[in-house]
Amino acid sequence: MTPIHYARCLGGIVKREALRWTQQRGRFFSALVRPLVWLAIFAAGFHFVLGVSIIPPYETYIPYEVYIAPGLLAMIQLFNGMQSSLSMVYDREMGSMKTLLVSPFPRWFLLTAKLLASVVVSVVQAYIFLAIAWFWEIDPPPLGYLTVLPALILSGLMLGALGLVLSSFIRQLENFAGVMNFVIFPMFFASSALYPLWRVKESSLTLYWICQANPFTHATELIRFALYGQMAPLSAGVVAGATLLFMILAVWGYDPGRGLLARRGGGGE
């Protein structure tokens, strides 16, 4: 196998994911409508009740909708990672997964290619959301639209890898919705997406440490700081470490000899 073969394989997987995203208009609109509903309704209500919030790194008063925008960007990537893993479960039920996994390419490469394809879609969705959010006066510095790109890629890799782990042990498509809700909502609400950690600490020290241990918190903080041209080294390290861990678990889970698929007779179920 030459690098050209690997490049063609990667391009084919990315193209397939992009076509699936553009042809499934419901998936496209739901990915945007969900965070926009939070932005237009939820944020507006809290803006009336709370007025403004003090958050790092700004050390100033800002509207609540400005605070939660990075968390909504991370939400888009979280749901996209789950949708991508849903397609893996669907492909396994339809049998097309078996065709992919029995190819001569290493399994880790195929999963990485699938993950990169998911990240490309999630980053595009995130920038579309930022463009629409501008009408809510969420306008970071112009350089922030560039500095946030690495943060979106890294957080997208982590959340997409988490989706791959979940898809490796979900056997049937109808079970996926329950697992998604079990993972998505605790990760989202037990994070700094909706409220600052210092305020969580004031109300519950236990919940504060749960939020600190939540990788989604660090994905949100990484995006939040990067959107305003600043760096969050701790969050970057946690997100990178979680990405590596999730990918190792995903590769193990899709290994027909040792992983979870071995108990089900391979990847074609």
Phi, psi of 230 (to 5 degrees): -120, 165
Confidence grade of residue 193 (pLDDT, cut at 50, 70, 90) = confident
Mean pLDDT estimate for the chain: 78
Check residue 267 and give its pLDDT.
44
Tens of pLDDT along 100-122?
Answer: 666 777 778 888 888 888 898 88
Residues contacting residue 186 through CB under 8 Å, at least 6 positions apart: none
Count of other CB atoms within 10 angstroms of residue 252: 15
Tens of pLDDT along 138-179?
Answer: 888 889 899 999 999 999 999 989 988 888 777 666 666 677
- The full set of domain ranges for the chain reads 3-264
- Enumerate the H helices of 64-143 as residue ranges: 64-94, 96-101, 107-133
Residues contacting residue 9 through CB under 8 Å, at least 6 positions apart: 103, 105, 109, 110, 113
Q: State the Cα–Cα distance between residues 90 and 136, nearest whole angstrom.
A: 37
Confidence grade of residue 95 (pLDDT, cut at 50, 70, 90) = low
Q: Which helix (H) or strand (E) holds 63?
A: strand 60-63
Average pLDDT over residues 193-212: 86
Average pLDDT over residues 248-264: 67
Q: What is the dihedral of CA 186, 188, 193, 197, to 10 degrees?
A: 20
Tens of pLDDT along 49-90?
Answer: 444 444 444 445 667 777 888 989 999 899 888 877 777 766
Query: Is the overall model pTM greater than 0.85, yes or no?
Result: no
Contacts of 248-256 with C-beta under 8 Å, sequence gap 24+, read 249/165, 249/168, 250/111, 250/161, 250/164, 250/165, 250/168, 251/107, 251/108, 251/111, 253/164, 253/165, 253/168, 253/169, 254/101, 254/107, 254/111, 254/164, 254/168, 255/107, 256/101
Angle at 185 between CA 87 and CA 220, to 5 degrees: 90
pLDDT at 265 over 60: no
